[in-house]
Amino acid sequence: MMAKALKAMFAAAAALLLSAQSAPERIEYTLTPVMTGGALQAMQVNLRFRGDADGETVLRVPNEWGGKSELYRAIQQIEAVSGATLRDGEGPAQRVLTHRPGARVHVRYRIVQDFEGAPNARDGNAYRAIVQPGYFHLIGEAAFVTPEVESAAIPVRVRAQRLPRGWTYASDLEHEGLTLAGIWGSVTVGGDFRVSRGSDRNIRIAMRGEAWQFSDESFVRQVEAILSSQRAFWGDPSTPFLVTVLPLEQPREGWLSIGGTGLSDAFAFFATNNAEEAAITRTLAHESLHTWIPLALGGLPRENEALEYWFSEGFDEFYVGRLLVRQGVWTPEAFAEDFNRTLRAYAISSARTLPNAEIPAQFWSNQTVQQLPYQRGRLLAAL
């Protein structure tokens, strides 16, 4: 009887051990400001996770995204603190860790700004890592080193610590259920941002800058109206959503710039402070709709994604117009005027006959070509 009891006990222990080994462990990120004389110099990132079972784990370092290249220049002092040794991989956007099979690994690196001065409209949307003396603005694709694992569904936790007194912090990486897939399409800000909420407590707006043509309260109302209309259309409940607003300096007087990027459950908005409300409303509607088109509908391939922009950007444009009319922000006449602009621009486009397969090579360098997916997708959706 004793032998049978011992055998049963060992079998149960073995089952528990196997269960623990098969359960995915959480990847941990901790962000810490590096300050000198009260000014932010860098953001230090401590990354902890369990390495691959074969004793080697590849680290993906930011490289190209959103028309920006060599994003790895902002990632410095990558080191293996414990549990592994680090070597160079295939190019500057890769590192390789060697460790015991399944070992706990601690990696540390710093995020810096790899260009001079504050974000400027002459450089387009501020997709590179922004580290200024009084604030930081980090899009996941430009800031996070990630281990290459079999599944992007592994749980992740991101925390910030030791922020200076008086600083605010906001990130769409703060909610429950975060996975590795959500790291890349994210935005994290801290410093002299003003963080506001409206009647829907799930919606947060993190804004900096004082000279906007609109108030914080008006902007919050617009965001709430647009998001509520889009959620109602898709039949989705209210969920956490973050909007960040970063001012861009004007390279010369009168320069106007408005842009942004839709992320998994956020969007990052960039504009010069002379941006008008109507243009802002349209940009808000377009970018927030990316939560569904294409992200909730299957996303885009990570390679050569511009081939699919006719869907992600063009179909987005079609539904933006419909929903702005439904929620009363646009009149039917305003919709017709906007749609006619698309028809005219496509009709006279010098790139109108360019095959879709040739768009990726010119998308970020030719503005006329860049508009083709928006125009073609919108017209295809209308048909």
pTM: 0.83
Closest CA to 300 of 287, 311, 285: 311
Give the C-alpha separation, 274 to 102, whole Å.
Answer: 53
Q: Could you read off the pLDDT of 227-238 as tens digits, one per residue?
A: 888 999 999 999
Q: Could you read off the pLDDT of 315-362 as tens digits, one per residue?
A: 999 999 999 998 888 899 999 999 999 999 999 999 999 999 999 999
pLDDT at position 6 is 44
| Residues 177, 48, 153, 306, CA torsion sign | positive
Would you list the domain boundaries of the chain? 26-148+155-162, 193-288, 295-382
Place of tokens 């004007």: 250
pLDDT at position 160 is 97
- Domains 26-148+155-162 and 193-288 belong to one CATH topology: no
Q: Could you read off the pLDDT of 251-306 as tens digits, one per residue?
A: 998 899 998 887 878 889 999 999 887 788 888 899 889 889 998 898 888 778 89
Q: Is the pLDDT of residue 136 over 50?
A: yes
pLDDT-based confidence at residue 13 (cuts at 50, 70, 90): very low
How far apart are the two ends of the chain, measured CA to CA in Å?
Answer: 77
Residue 175: Cβ-neighbour burial (10 angstroms; 0-12, 13-18, 19+):
middle
Closest CA to 26 of 183, 239, 188: 183
Place of tokens 């808000």: 284
pLDDT-based confidence at residue 177 (cuts at 50, 70, 90): confident
Q: State the DSSP H helix or E strand holding residue 281, giving kind and residue range, or none if neither.
A: helix 277-289
Indicate the CATH number for domain 193-288. 1.10.390.10
| Percent of the chain residues topping a pLDDT of 90 | 69
Say which amino acid occupies 37.
Answer: G
Contact 45, 64 (CB under 8 A): no
For residues 177-191, give the mean pLDDT. Answer: 92
What radius of gyration, in Å, describes the C-alpha atoms of the chain? 23
Give the C-alpha separation, 148 to 51, whole Å.
Answer: 10
Structurally, at CATH architecture level, domain 26-148+155-162 sits in Sandwich (2.60)
Cα dihedral value 328, 331, 337, 342, nearest 10: 30
Extract the runs of DSSP E, i.e. beta strands, from the chain.
27-36, 39-50, 56-60, 75-82, 85-89, 91-98, 104-111, 130-132, 135-139, 146-147, 156-160, 168-171, 187-191, 194-197, 203-207, 241-247, 258-262, 266-271
| Residues 52, 57, 58, 59, CA torsion sign | positive
